[in-house]
Structures are given as C-alpha cells and as structure tokens.
Structure 1
Amino acid sequence: MPTISQLVIYPIKSCAGLSVEHATLTTAGLVYKGVGDREWMVVDPSGQFLTQREFSRMARIKPQVRDGLVSVTFPDMAALPLERRHLPEDATCLVAVWDDHVIATDCGDVAAAWFTQVIGTPCRLVRFRENVVRSTSTKWTGGVAAATRFADGYPLLAIGDASLADLNARLRAAGRDAVPMNRFRANLVIDGIDPFEEDYTATFKVGGALIAPVKPCSRCPIPSIDQASGMPGPDLLDILGTYRANARMDGAICFGMNCIVTEGEGAELCVGQELEAELAF
C-alpha cells in the first residue's frame, strides 16, 4: 500500500524546507502549527520575487517553528523572529510571482535589513494576506478552481520515492553522486508507487481527502543546488533531459507533479499514512 514518506512545508518561498511529521491539508497548501506553505516571500525593491535561481544562498535560510513562534536562522546571524500577527494593516505592497500580481503585507524594516544582509542584495520580506485569493490557472485543472499562496503556480508538489531512485540510478551510472529529495522541493513524497506513477495518477485518496495531480512540474536549475551548503553543483538537467522531456509541456524537462486539493479541506496528513492512487487510465 502506498504511504506518505515525507511531508515538507516551505514557510518562505525558495528558502529551506521544514520536514514535519504531520500537517493540515488546505486548498492553498499544507499548514503546520498555523504556518502555511509559502506564507512568506522575499522580494526586491520593486516587488519582484527572489529565488535560489539567482541567490543560491537562500537555501541556507532555515525556518523554525517552536511553541507557536516562527523564526529563521542563517549561519553566523542572530535568529530573526517572524511576526505573524498585529502587523499594520496599511503595510501593504504589490508583489509579483511570475505573471501574478498580489497585494501582500510588508514585514518591516528589521526583517528587510536581515534578509538584505543575508542574501547580499536589497530586498524585503512580505507575507501573504489572509483575505487575498491567488487563483491557479484552470488550464491544467479541467476548469476546477484552486488557489495557492506564493508557490510558483499550484498548492502542492508530489513526487514518488521511486522516481528519485530511478534518477539516482542513472546518475550513478554516469559516474555522478546521488541527490536527496530536498533538491526537488516536494511537499508530499510518496513511497510504494512505481517510478513516475505520479505522472499518471488521477487522484491520491488520503483519508477523506482527494489530491489531484494536474500539471507536470517543469524544472529549472534549482535542483543542482546543494540545499545544505547553498552551493550550485553539477546540473541535473543533462541527465533528466535524456528521458524526462515532456511533449505535453512543449518539451520541458519535468520531474514531479503539481497538485490541487479537490476534497478534504482541513484533513490531517501524517508521515506513514496510507493512501490510494487511482490511475488516470
């Protein structure tokens, strides 16, 4: 029986993930102890989002959730508490995530100074506002409405353990080192399915919830970045490109599936939980 082997949230877009034993499933993504996936985001002074694509050291910015408090750390820097309540209602700004423009809450000058020092470029930290709905494209959902926070496009990313094992076998055959799952920044990692079975799954049923894989995840150079050191390594796209070009995505190299939640808002997920995979054919 397939099971959930990992649950990961990314409180700040493109910063380190937080591996958790349980999380609440919402239509906008996972929530852990009140902290939402991609609830925060770093932007440049014009409001454009920043990622590891340009600033690989962001991988070393690590979130912590303890006793209801959220903070981030970086080597040789004092931890920065992230205030989630009582921010001024007028501290709003317009930010951009790809083609979407969203009203967000600016987290203030202290946070801006901390992230500017860590990343090495002028930037500010913003938080997703609870009264904002960022809709996903319905092109890939069959017209089903869905939403996300600051994720690239969809609320969840699912990958099977066997898919990574398949890639690592190919890397070793090419004389390369294997890579861990954190290179691909999945939220939901599934054990007990065949390599790339997630590509052909209509729904994953977890308790009373249904998670629908809807769009292949096209890949940029971020998986080449060592998430522990923040240093770029050999680009994985040369190996992935030999067998993971997707005609449905105009030949883009894909690994993992973007998903939406079609039933089960508020369901609790946990590592080790069984699920059912209904194939699309």
Structure 2
Amino acid sequence: MTELPVDQVQTLLAVVDEGTFEAAAAALHVTPSAVSQRVKALERRTGRVLLRRTKPVRPTESGEIVVRLARQLGRLERDARAELGMSGTAEATRVSVAVNSDSLATWFLPALSRVPEELRLCFELRREDQDHTAALLREGLVMAAVTSSSLPVTGCSVRALGVMRYVAAARPDFAARHLDGPLRERLPNAPVVVFDRRDDLQDAFVRRLRRGGGASTVRHFVPTSDGFVEAVAAGLGWGLVPEVQAEPLLAAGRLVHLAPGRAVDVPLYWQQWKLDSPALAAVAQAVTATAAQALRTQ
C-alpha cells in the first residue's frame, strides 16, 4: 500500500504543531494512545522515522515532507470550500510567507497591498534572513518565501524577482575619524553595524577588499532594517545599507558612500508551494509585479 491516510497525516501535523502527543490528542479529541498508534502506523507505511521524540516533538527530514503535505492538503481543502461557497468559509484565507527584513522594510508590504481585497486574504509574515527562508519552506511552516536561493525546495516552484543592491556607507564624521586612508587597510578595524550573528554581508565585503579576515570585532548588532540604517546614520559604525534606503540619506549628506563602484548585489527569488491555489497565485502575481519595479534586474 502506497497511499498516505489523511487521518494519519493530519495526526502527525497535530503532534508537530502542538509539541506533544498528549496536546495533539486534546486538539484532535482522541486519546494519546490513538495518536501514538496513528503515528506509528504512518511510520510503518512510509518505512521512515517521522518524529524525533523530544520535548517539544520535532519532525525528522522525512517527517518534514509529510508535514508539508498535511499543510498543503489543508490549503487545498480551504480553497475548495471557498470556491464551493460552503458554510464556514466566511473567515479570511491565511497566507504564510517568509520574507527578509530589508524587503519587508522597503518593497514587500506595498506588494501585498496590490492583492485584490475581494479575495479576503490575511497574511502571516515570518521575518527571516533571505539565506534561511528556504528552511521554513522545507519544514512546511510557510507557503511561500522571498529567498536568495535559486534552487527550488522540493515541492516548490521558483521565479527570479530581481536584485537588492547594498552600498557601503557611514556618517561623514565617522568616515573622517576611522577611514582616513586606504579603505582596504582601515575598514577591517573600523566599528561596524551588523544585523545579527548570522549576517555575513559586512564580513564578506571586507574579504572582497583584502584576502582573509573580515570586519572588525567591534560590532553593533541591530536586528531591524530601519534600526540598522539609523545606527549607521547615527555614527555607531559603517554598514552595508540597501540602496533604496541609502539614497535619501546620501543626498541629504547624512551618509557618505565608502566604496563607489563596489556595491553588493543580492539576487532574490520567490518560492512557493506547487499548488493550484487562487490565494497563492494572487500573492505571487502582486509580489513579482512590485519586485519588477522596486528591484534591479539580474
């Protein structure tokens, strides 16, 4: 038998979402023993261990595939009920999307405003670095993502959005104090603003200037896009600022460009579940149309 019984698939999802077999049993209105039996039956059917019996319970790599299937089945059922005009479909359709902070602060929200209101969508946005949003797709936690990976996640389609350009910038007096001299020699020792501990953009930029090393260990972590830009403009350190956010500050003299001609281009892609879903199709259309206007071409 190769089919995956829906009740077993939905039970696995409940265990992952609720974190324990007992909580899943309460949510499904069955006994913990019934939950355990369904999960074991599904593992026998697939020939794979699907859950790590930790607290909270976590899916294995194989379990993530089944969890993603369960969420997709739920999405298809809600779309079908809405198209059939069945009772209980008055609530808005929820669309979960992973998006990086800089896109969220610049062009992504205007994209969502272009989705037709009559579709009655509500959005659940999960902020994550563009290098890591694909992981949320693999785990089935989001339906779509803005990502830096052109390699599609299994079960997903991918399309290019454009390039987000970053420029190295600092406050004029900061540059005069810390960067008076050859940039490749002074920049590695100058205080730097970094988004978070996974942000490698500034270190990679320094490595492009000179082999080895990275940016200074004197670094300020500012994990919001607007806060990051303000930290650079306040003179806490230098940083790579999205071009669209840097331009008005450069024009006003609040920032200076540290390395004209050495911009950093980060290609962005839209990945989404391969579903014939009106909700996802509308969001994808709005996102790609807005990105075509807001981002540079690749």
> Same fold by TM (over 0.5)?
no
Q: Report which of the two has the higher share of strand.
A: 1
Q: Which range, TM-score by smaller chain?
A: under 0.3
Q: Higher helix proportion, which one?
A: 2
* RCO higher in structure (CA 8 A, sep ≥6): 1
If you compute each CA radius of gyration, which structure gives the higher value, 1 or 2?
Answer: 2
